[in-house]
Amino acid sequence: MKIKRLTFTSLAVAVSASAAHAVEIKYVLWDSNQLPAYQQCAKDFSAKHPNISVKITQSGWDDYWTALSTGFVSGTAPDVFTDHLAKYPEFVKNNQLVDLSSYIERDKLDPSIYTDGLYEVWGKDGKQFGLPKDWDTIAMIVNMDIAEKAGVTLDELNFMTWNPQDGGSFEQIVRKLTLDKNGNNATSDKFDPNNVAVYGYQNPGAGGMMGQIEWSHFAVSNGFKFQDKPWGSEFYYDHKSLADTLDYLAGLPKKGLSADFKNTQSLGSDSMFIAGKAAIIPQGSWMITYFDNNVKNKYHWIPLPKGPSGKRATMFNGLADSIWSGSKHKEEAWQWVKYLGSADCQSVVASKGVVFPAIKGMAEKAVGAQMQRNIDSSAFLTMSQSETYLPPIAKNGARIDSTMESAIQSILLGKESAQEALSDANKKVLRYSK
């Protein structure tokens, strides 16, 4: 989330492919990397629908949600917007989203074209609040210059195992990649954990209620489950599987394998990786282009390690396009949403190779497009075929997020034991979710 914070001075870019007297649909998104693809979609769309023009505005993550909710109140929100699973329950609760089910039925849309699970998470009680646009998974990025010097092969990296007791082959590799100021790695007796030059692995942070890139994949591969069901009110943050995972992550800095939590909260793990101070970090597929533009050394994306469950696990998050209930042009807005969810637009998005579109088979096309730019992003595809789980969906998400952020920070700072902090936090979470 750090990048989002640094770039919250928003770039607002507006494109308008407009014909005179056309109905104008306002559309917003937060990821500037995706803007060119959607500009292309808007152009193609207007060519097919000369009476509708689409105006796209992009603003950074933090501004995005504030602007959207103030827009709802003041009646100036965009007709169509990119929606997030963590945010949409609040909008549904307050009747801000148009139920798309009657449009879908009327136009005979086939939801089975989308990758399994992506369509269903945007529905509740027979209503449908968004049409899937793309998905993301998590992988790890490795500095291959450091790995090669340490004699660690790509094959070893691709098939790591992990457990919360001794860290499995993951920790063995991390030890080989961690170097102190004298050039000793962390498998050596001479290794000085207080004078580390390159950390083998860097946990990005506390991760709030999702731990999307921070801890959820370790925890789930260790038997953890967020909640009873999407929208469910039972949460299991006090489960031992999560406590053991967080104890393990909090222990890495003590071994000198990661930097202290308090030293990584300003510029963070991404900058450490780019500066060559961290050899492996976890990240999401939406960062593929960012790293390719910024990393100067040789790098490679690798799948996450297999956990005690014997499987790799990743959060599988899907974005969708939603229509605001206050839109004055709902029919035109629906035409645009339908186009965004169609193979026509999603194949354009795939060809730009920035994110993985929701329609089955399109992700492989995106990976191919990235291969053309010499980026191997197949690790994310591997992850999508492993054990996947959705981010938790609950009402009062922002308060649950804030509670979990504080609790996990106190664990990573060594102020509280994981079991203690998590059981207190889970009690608060249950009060918010019920």
- 242's enclosing H/E stretch is helix 240-251
Q: Give the count of alpha carbons within 13 A of 61, CB side only.
A: 12
Pairing label, strands 138-143, 123-124:
unpaired
Residues 38 and 339: their CA atoms lie apart, in Å, by 11
> At its nearest, how many Å lie between another protein and the CB of residue 5?
7
Strands 313-315, 387-389: parallel, antiparallel or unpaired by DSSP? parallel
User: Using CA atoms, how far apart are residues 183 and 190, in angstroms rounded to an integer?
Assistant: 10
* 52 within 8 A of 44, measured Cβ to Cβ: no
- 69 forms part of the interface with another protein (CB under 8 A): yes
From 27-35, 249-257, 260-268, 361-369, span contacting another protein (CB under 8 A) = 260-268
Q: Which is nearer to another protein, 278 or 319 (CB)?
A: 278
The answer to the question of residue 73 lying near another protein (CB under 8 A) is yes
Using rule CB under 8 A, residue 399 touches another protein: yes
* Token pair for 304: 């996450």
18 lines the binding site for another protein (CB under 8 A): no
Residue 148 binds another protein, judged by CB under 8 A: no
CB 268 within 8 A of CB 204: yes
Q: How far is the CB of 263 from another protein (least distance, A)?
A: 4
Q: Which of residues 410-429 bind another protein (CB under 8 A)?
A: 410, 413, 415
* Interatomic CA distance for residues 375 and 198, integer angstroms: 24
Instruction: Give which of 171, 196, 321 is closest to 259, Cα–Cα.
Output: 196
Stretch that binds another protein, among 136-144, 259-267, 289-297, 363-371 (CB under 8 A): 259-267
Q: What is the Cα–Cα distance from 81 to 112, expressed in whole angstroms?
A: 23
Near another protein by CB under 8 A: residue from 10, 16, 33, 271: 271
Find out whether 324 and 336 touch, Cβ atoms under 8 Å.
no
Binding to another protein by residue 267, rule CB under 8 A?
A: yes
CB of 209 to another protein, least distance (A): 12
Shorter beta-carbon distance to another protein: residue 167 or 253: 253
Strand 80-83, strand 14-16: pairing:
unpaired
Which token pair is 419? 């079991």
Told to check if 343 binds another protein by CB under 8 A, we report: no
Which one of the spans 36-44, 153-161, 361-369, 409-417 is the region binding another protein (CB under 8 A)?
409-417
Q: Which of 146, 257, 272, 340 binds another protein (CB under 8 A)?
A: 272
Which residues between 28 and 67 bind another protein (CB under 8 A)?
65-66
**Cβ closest to another protein, residue 156 vs residue 247:** 247
In terms of CB distance, is 69 or 161 closer to another protein?
Answer: 69
For residues 278 and 199, is the Cβ–Cβ distance under 8 A? yes
Q: How many CB atoms neighbour CB 194 within 10 A?
A: 7
Given the complex with another protein, which of 40 and 265 has the nearer CB atom? 265
- Tracing tokens 């970090």 back to the chain, one arrives at 281
384 binds another protein (CB under 8 A): no
H-type alpha helices, 252-305: 268-274, 288-294
Instruction: Check residue 264 for interaction with another protein (CB under 8 A).
Output: yes
Tokens describing residue 357: 């579109």
Q: What is the CA radius of gyration of the chain?
A: 22
Please select the residue that binds another protein; options are 351, 386, 402, 417, rule is CB under 8 A: 402
Name the one range near another protein by CB under 8 A: 108-116, 131-139, 328-336, 392-400.
Answer: 392-400
* 237 CB-side CA count, 13 A: 28
Q: Could you tell me if 31 and 58 are in contact, meaning their C-beta atoms sit under 8 angstroms apart?
A: yes
Q: Report CA 245 to chain centroid distance, whole Å.
A: 20
Asked if 194 touches another protein (CB under 8 A), the answer is no
φ, ψ for residue 372, nearest 5 deg: -60, -30
| Number of chain residues interacting with another protein (CB under 8 A) | 37
Compute the least distance from the CB of residue 398 to another protein, in Å. Answer: 4
Mark out the alpha helices in 373-417 (DSSP H runs).
378-384, 397-412
Q: Which lies closer to another protein via its Cβ, residue 134 or residue 214?
A: 214
Map residues 90-109 to x or -, x wherever contact with another protein holds by CB under 8 A: xx--xxx-------------
Residue from 9, 112, 165, 293 touching another protein (CB under 8 A): that is 9
CB of 268 to another protein, least distance (A): 9
Minimal distance, residue 67 CB to another protein, in Å: 10
Q: Is 10 in the site for another protein (CB under 8 A)?
A: no
Q: Is residue 259 involved in binding another protein (CB under 8 A)? A: yes
Can you tell me the distance from the alpha carbon of 236 to that of 227, in angstroms, rounded to the nearest whole number?
6
- Residues making contact with another protein (CB under 8 A): 5-6, 9, 65-66, 69-70, 72-73, 90-91, 94-96, 259-267, 271-272, 275, 277, 396, 398-399, 402, 405-406, 409-410, 413, 415
